[in-house]
A and B are shown apart, each in its own frame.
Chain A
Amino acid sequence: MAERKSNPAFLNGVPEMLILQLLSRQAMYGYEIVQAIKADSNDELEFGEGCIYPILHRLESDGLLTATKELASGRTRVVYRCTRRGKARLAKSISNWRRIADAVNLSLEGGGNVRSALA
């Protein structure tokens, strides 16, 4: 089986935003979060799944998530929930992301206009 590649774009605040988005909808444990990210992105976002845990731990220490050990399907799991602070951070992250994405799209469209104008 081929080695899975980390997606370099899956960096710099994007995992944080996706995690907060998922957990703002419902409480989840680590494995569920990874599967949900894959499903929601049609497997476009691939990354070392284990790297999700250090991010979850940091978000928890920042007060954006809470973690509780809960019994589910006969096994104790660490379940994460988004806090009010986490939701506020999510709103800010989404707003920043949309602003940047709009700017990039605008720039790409502008580039096309310049090329057609030159032709």
Chain B
Amino acid sequence: MSVQRWLDEVRSGCGRRRLPPAYVERLVGELSDHLTELMEDSMSMEASERPPTLLGSASEIVAAASSEYRRRRFSGRHPWLAFVIAPTLSLPILWAGSLLMLVFGAKAIGFDSESPTATAATSHWATEMLPFAVLGTLILPVAVATIAFCQLAIKTAVSRRWLLACCLVLAIIGGAANSSVSLPTPGTKGSVAFGFGVSLPPSPQQIAQFLLPLLLGCWMLHVGRGTAVSVSGN
């Protein structure tokens, strides 16, 4: 196998493992320098004809590069913690944060649950928007968590099964969340309730909440694969 073909195999293999292009180019550059040194030292063409014999097969190099790259980050060394436990814990925290923002936002624009009549009179547009805001309070944290953990998975270059496992965890927890809103009317108080549980058949909102992380994950995986193809094409 020629040097160039071997280096191309290393480059494309690293691309398939979604290693960053700059990292791959540096590795390939150093391997190329190493082969040049070998050729000069041995005064033979063996190094140019059989690089796998001397430096290891392209698949060995790619496996070593991928493994060592993953070991750089905590998430690569402990994928169970980073892509299963952390998403499970982060979603309730993000929901609590977004719920607090909703409450403070509602108070800021004039909602007052103690005097619903006044609220209905002064914040008609806000009342109309409340169900959407509550829906956003549920869905936005799921989307944010999915994007953040998928980006972490791509940066760490972990196997795609961790990215999909993470999306599945977020889909199950996100899909189980539900909310109900009753708008204030003159004489009655409005209420907003959050909870967990799946009704049978599940509501369209819960189906959407379940599908959102999976679709986002597939999309990010597709984008990642696009990057890998462009690397291997170089």
Count residues of B near A (Cβ-Cβ below 8 Å): 26
Interface size class of A (residues with CB under 8 A): 20 to 34
Minimal Cβ-Cβ distance residue in B for A32: B37
- 8 Å CB interface, A66-87 against B: 75, 77-78
Roughly how many angstroms separate A49 CA and B46 CA in the complex, as a whole number? 15
Q: Which residues of A contact B33 (CB under 8 A)?
A: 29-31, 75, 77-78
Name the contact of A54 in the complex, choosing from B27, B53, B57 (C-beta under 8 A).
B27
Q: Which residues of A contact B68 (CB under 8 A)?
A: 54-55, 57-58
B101 contacts the other chain (CB 8 A)? no
Q: Which residues of A contact B34 (CB under 8 A)?
A: 30-31, 34, 49-50, 53
Q: Are B27 and A57 in contact (CB under 8 A)?
A: yes
Q: Are A54 and B31 in contact (CB under 8 A)?
A: no
Known: A48-B60, A48-B64, A57-B27. 15 other contacts (CB 8 A): A1-B50, A3-B53, A6-B56, A30-B34, A31-B37, A48-B55, A49-B54, A49-B56, A50-B64, A51-B56, A51-B61, A53-B34, A54-B67, A58-B69, A75-B33
B68 CB to closest chain A CB (Å) equals 4
The DSSP consensus for interface residues of chain B is helix
Q: Are A4 and B53 in contact (CB under 8 A)?
A: yes
B72 contacts the other chain (CB 8 A)? yes
Q: Are A1 and B53 in contact (CB under 8 A)?
A: yes
B194 CB to closest chain A CB (Å) equals 42
A102 contacts the other chain (CB 8 A)? no
Q: Are A57 and B56 in contact (CB under 8 A)?
A: no
Roughly how many angstroms separate A29 CA and B53 CA in the complex, as a whole number? 21
Name the contact of B64 in the complex, choosing from A30, A51, A62 (C-beta under 8 A).
A51
